[in-house]
Amino acid sequence: MIRIGILGAAKIGPKAIIEPAAKRDDCEIVAVAARDADKARTYAEANGIAHVETDYDALVHRKDVDLIYNALPPHRHADLTIAALEAGKAVLCEKPFAMNAAEATRMVDAANRAGKPLIEAFHYRFHPAFLRVLEIVRSGDLGAIKTMEAVFNVSIPYREGELRHTLELGGGALMDLGCYSVHMIRTLADAEPDVLSASAQCDRPGVDIGTKAHLGFSSGASAIVECSMAEDVDRDIRLEIVCKDGCVSLLNPVHPHRGHQITIRQGGHERTETADGMITYEHQLAHVMDVMAGRAVPLTGGADAIGNMAVIDAIYAAAGLSPR
């Protein structure tokens, strides 16, 4: 039985790990930590969690915890993930992995020293819908990749304390939404891109509410990454890959369990598919359990996580903003 401790009484916790864990018989949530004692107790009672800590380090060092789920904002990913690894715990760390590539490197180095899994929570990556698109592209049936476009636009209005609008916490559209788009493009290309150009719109100093970047690969392929959390933006979440002999697209790649469509166009013909699957977070936890049991190697984290943060850093620099 894998015993899980949660860092942060986060809104994402129930759907991301508490509910998926409740459906399994090989793991359980045993403790949660939050600095606000009342919030921690309320969260634990609402979610059936037996133990509460008001100190993050105390949770990290609990002897009855095997896996830490770091659901805190990005500015607390590096220090607490490293502390957890050094305490002998495996870690599932929320996206974006870190504030920047330098922090990501330190986290991965700590995982390597500890010999413990460190997995980035890109839940979409484990769903059969994305795996099917990846299979189509990598089969070579459509030929080499020419261009790609990954868009994640969803309104996240400003409010006081909203982490996505707070620079010091690791906020910004690229950090919260665009990290998915960058990851999809890199995974499909199976290569690291150069940032050819980038632009960003900010309504507060340093915090992008919208970012667009043009990426290039040594193969000659190129990609557009677009993300926006502007209050008036229309919801648009899609992935499109144009290859030499055809193209494939995935509508709603981030949450395909809420409805998705795969469209393949080749030789003047078009067909659509869907991929049966569970909630993305259930596939993610299944992968984490497989990794911890030695049945699989991590699909995220490691060099992949460093690479993703390096591209995010480079996009910010190209857009005239400072990396986090």
CA distance 322 to 152: 22
Distance of CA 242 to the CA centre of its chain: 24
The HSE-up count of residue 91 (CA atoms within 13 Å, CB side) is 34
User: Which whole-number Å values give the CA distances from 73 to 12, 142, 228, in the listed order?
Assistant: 11, 40, 19
Rg (CA), the chain: 19
| Helix axes 128-139 and 179-189, enclosed angle (nearest 10) | 40
| Best CA proximity match to 292, nearest among 88, 10, 74 | 88
Largest CA distance in the chain: 61
Give the angle 35-176-44 at the CA atoms, nearest 5°: 30
CB-CB contact of 162 with 175 (8 Å): no
Handedness of CA 273, 276, 278, 280 (dihedral sign): negative
Selecting among 95, 116, 146, 244, the annotated active-site residue is 95
Is 212 known to be catalytic? no
Query: What's the token pair of residue 260?
Result: 């998705």
CB-CB contact of 220 with 206 (8 Å): no
CB-CB contact of 228 with 173 (8 Å): yes
Give the angle 34-39-45 at the CA atoms, nearest 5°: 100
Query: What's the token pair of residue 122?
Result: 């890109």
CA distance 292 to 295: 8
User: Which whole-number Å values give the CA distances from 218 to 59, 176, 204, 311, in the listed order?
Assistant: 45, 27, 35, 15
What positions carry a catalytic annotation? 95
